[in-house]
Chains A and B, each alone.
Chain A
């Protein structure tokens, strides 16, 4: 078969691959997105859709998150908001001593996040069904939400009208560098390109190895409980402030903290658990019980709710909790955009933009240094 030829091949049709495709296309480059499954068949189809600035401490990730959040709204403006994007706001609550929550929110507001401390009566106003025991919280109006599967599908569908090519059900088996070209091979296809973007999420380490490089991306499992459609009991993304510590932790053992939000289809999503158990898809009743117990103690009205289903997904986890965005140190033309862990939906727009800017040799919207793959590849040079 005659090889296909393009300028950029993007491996992975999750939200990160879709956003890379969007900005690469905007930059005027010809691109092909390829996935071994369908759109959003990886972690993008197995999580939630929060676009959060509130759960990040000041630093490079927060800087990217703030930019990325605004860019989500630009993408929706350009392509049409067919993916339930809404700035519903977040509410972090503290059940005990609130000093660490307030310390965090003070530092965040210095870094440009809009924050507002709220006491019992304001909390009841924001969330009429929340437990009366909650005395302290911080309201984050910038936190937003979308439906990530719809987003990835809509972005890729619209881009196909702008010249992008999408190829599903083709697994990348080989990536070779020959003279000035990279060749991506599947069992039936050969695609030649100038650049390859590895947007394979939790599987990005395998893609790096196929190309002769290395990237330490690992799975961190999370469960979500989905209720049957309910009246609007939950207005914001509401979470326990210990969530922020769990996100930043490197512990392999199970951690859970309450994260609750409604969706436009009426279901309420309950998370969040984090554990490193490899790619184990099995359902853990004890995790589900723990999540349900924590959720009903925050929103007692959920105690009688029926669960429609429970699912799990594998966050793409990098050892220092920062995504890997930038050029591979070993293989010219290969770029990585992966390892966004539990924030890949929120960070996807900014990350895709940075990739397009690096490929075009432009100055990126954020300092790309902290995200560089080089931090994990020194030993291999």
Chain B
């Protein structure tokens, strides 16, 4: 199976799967922390509207995990506030 990186761990995925789906299947539901109160956030709307599922992808913040197709080239980090 193919994998992408999420905070130093290898996450397996099926072709065509979203990053959010692969993360949830691997039990990684904490996608990010909110800016002020540092609460955990995960998938919410699942269709690109709410921006709750944002992660850092190859160094770029605010990328929606629910819209992003999983790929071996992705190195993903949990987003902490706006970092």
Contacts and interface: CB of A to CB of B under 8 A. Distances in A.
B35 A306 contact: no
Interface in B7-60: 35, 51, 54, 60
Chain B at the A interface: mostly helix, strand, loop or mixed?
strand
A229 B35 contact: yes
Interface in A208-250: 228-231
Interface of B: 35, 51, 54, 60-64, 82-83
Nearest to B83: A231
Nearest to A304: B60
Interface of A: 228-231, 266, 304-306, 308
A228 B54 contact: yes
A230 B51 contact: no
Given A231-B83, A306-B54, 5 more contacts: A229-B35, A229-B82, A230-B62, A231-B82, A306-B62
Contacts of B35: 229, 266
A175 B17 CA distance: 61
B58 to A, nearest CB: 11
Rank and list the top 6 A-B pairs by shortest CB-CB distance, nearest first.
A228-B62, A306-B62, A231-B82, A228-B51, A229-B82, A308-B51
Contacts of B60: 304
A232 to B, nearest CB: 9
A306 B82 contact: no
17 contacts: A228-B51, A228-B54, A228-B62, A229-B62, A229-B82, A230-B61, A230-B62, A230-B82, A231-B83, A266-B35, A305-B62, A306-B51, A306-B54, A306-B62, A306-B63, A306-B64, A308-B51
A169 B11 CA distance: 51
A266 B82 contact: yes
